[in-house]
Structure 1
Amino acid sequence: MRYYMINTTRSGTLLRWFQFDKRRPWLDLENPDCTLTLQLVGEAAANASLRLSDRAGRTLPYDLLPDPQVPQGLPDFAQIPAPRRQLLRLRFRFPGAEPLYLHDTRDGALLLTLEPVIRYPAFLFGLLQECQARFCPEGFENFVETGTLMAHTTLHASYWFPKVWTIELSEELHAQAQISLATRPNVTCLLGNSGDVLPDLAASLTGPSLFFLDAHWSGDETTDWDASRFSGYPVATARIADPQLSEVDRQVPLMAELTALAERHSGKAVVLIDDWGSIGRRDFGFAGEDWGSLDAEAIRAWIASHPRTQFHFRADHHRYLWAMA
């Protein structure tokens, strides 16, 4: 696995604020350098120095970069008395996908833990248990994901389902997934627009299936991340290149996916629609994001009226679940 999200745990009160460069807390094992700006506030904070260590307690080197800047929106750092504040910008390298620890050298106090993790949606597997008990006691045979991204969800699904397919539009992410999942023989990685790939795949499946619909553009090098709430992934994602399509259809193939499943998959199916809270919005997570012409109420009504629908509900703010037989 190449990409890991960095979970952070702050300890004590000396570390008031910290931020990764570009606000993206991701570790890329092919480029494991990391830059972190930290704001220390407290008694004699100006005299504090830091130690970076690994799990075994070994000290790791780092560089102090010049001219660290306080981002906009934070309280005026200059108003804090000079002896009680320090702003530092550190550049260091992860030795692998293992936790790192930042300490105050004066007393050894732990300030920050940086832990690379494989990020996957735990909610999906909770819903799997619920739906299996209610709807599919024989168990699900297939798992199909649209939008592979880092392949974290696919990896976890490969331990839960006999057969797993994942569809990715980006050639770069697809190629990386093939490498990351090479040791999982029950996984098939497919390249292309899920709206085009899913109909034939759905028709070929036998046995109960769970579909996780998460294919959508999540920004690239053209995105103004400074003007966005979401800070982006460490790699560009893809949208459909066809200029004849509307922007929302280029970014979000949801309606094509739902139609394909309703028409082409013949067995029991649970469909989990991710990012339900984004439907009908523009520039919601980041500048240029467009789900604007999709209508959540219209989609819900279509699901409710479909003759194969067994039940459907909003699983949480971000997701909608549909079961059909």
Structure 2
Amino acid sequence: MKVEVHGLTLTYGDAVAVSDLDLTVDEGESLVLLGQSGCGKTSTMRCIAGLETPTSGVISIGGRPVFDSGSGVNRAPNKRNIGMVFQSYAIWPHMTVFENVAFPLRMKGRKGAEIRAAVRETLELVGLDHLADRGASLLSGGQMQRVALARSLAMQPSVLLLDEPLSNLDARLRHRLRMELRELQLRLGVTSMYVTHDQDEALALADRIALMQSGRIVQIGTPPEIYAQPGSASIAEFLGVDNIIPVTREDGSCVRLTATGQKVAVEPYAEGGDLRLCVRAEDVVLGPESTEAVSYRHLKKKKR
């Protein structure tokens, strides 16, 4: 289902975790909230899940408000039909794999045969049907992650929320599981939101990326758009661009390197604000000396 967030603000005393945030996630879309620790991405997700009460704003799922500070609407987390995979997985160690996945179905009042069929189908989906009777405490990290995902999917959620579920895994396993997550999301068509500080994860999992800084969304776009056209020098630096060079403007299609005075042809840029030239290593092409102008992408640092 479609998720709409308007004017979302969350404060803790004088500290602002989320500031007047607007966001729309279309039905079936995979949107990744990307940003450094403390930027407000997990707080935003917890507000959508109903685990935090926003200071103000409106949150709607499938066109129905689940939170509205103006009218006093605040539906309980279990009434929002949201599946959530936590960073710690939150797997109950005293239960078997089957019992963990069946738990939300029992809480919804489903009957035995229906529960068994749903659990079996979901465990097959994540490749754990052969471990249904195994104790959760005997699972590996990757298996626990799959159990947590299966538990969220078994209830057929309107929206699937994932809060850095791969951060506790080693790099090789993390890479494999992110591919499996993306394949599952595309196959099921479930609306999903994923929180991470890992740029590679965001690029691999997202239809769109919402990049957050200081409780706000500072840029939103498809992975190619975010990667190729970061909206500011600070965003480019966060995305791993090392070559960010101060330049001075000459005209709309040319800049001068501040350090050397050399002119560089660039794509047309808007007037106003300081300029930075962004060059990724893969953009550099070695060749014979030439006077032909080379076009580089640019970054415009916003005035504060």
By the TM > 0.5 criterion, same fold? Answer: no
Greater RCO (Cα-Cα under 8 Å, separation 6 or more):
2
Q: Which TM-score bucket, shorter chain as reference?
A: under 0.3
After TM superposition, the score normalised by the length of structure 1 is 0.26
